[in-house]
Amino acid sequence: MTLLIGIIAGMQTQTAVLGYALDQTRNDLPNIGFASVYPAATIYKIICVQVLLAMLE
């Protein structure tokens, strides 16, 4: 469950959620989930914005 919380924080790219998860769980598993998903989520958000801007033109 703690790994899943980190993954959800990474999908939202919210470090505040990660901080809260670390305070609640008191272990490093949320960090592992966050680090595994965060780069892909960031790239996905950038691509989505580019697609939306292309659709507006």
Contact 6, 30 (CB under 8 A): yes
Residue of 18, 20, 16, 14 whose CA lies nearest to 42: 14
Mean pLDDT (whole number) for 26-35: 94
| Rg (the chain; Cα; Å) | 14
Split at pLDDT 50, 70, 90, the class of 18 is very high
Q: So what's the pLDDT on residue 7?
A: 94
- Return the domain boundaries, the chain: 2-56
Residue 57 has pLDDT above 90, yes or no: no
As a whole number, mean pLDDT of residues 8-28 equals 93
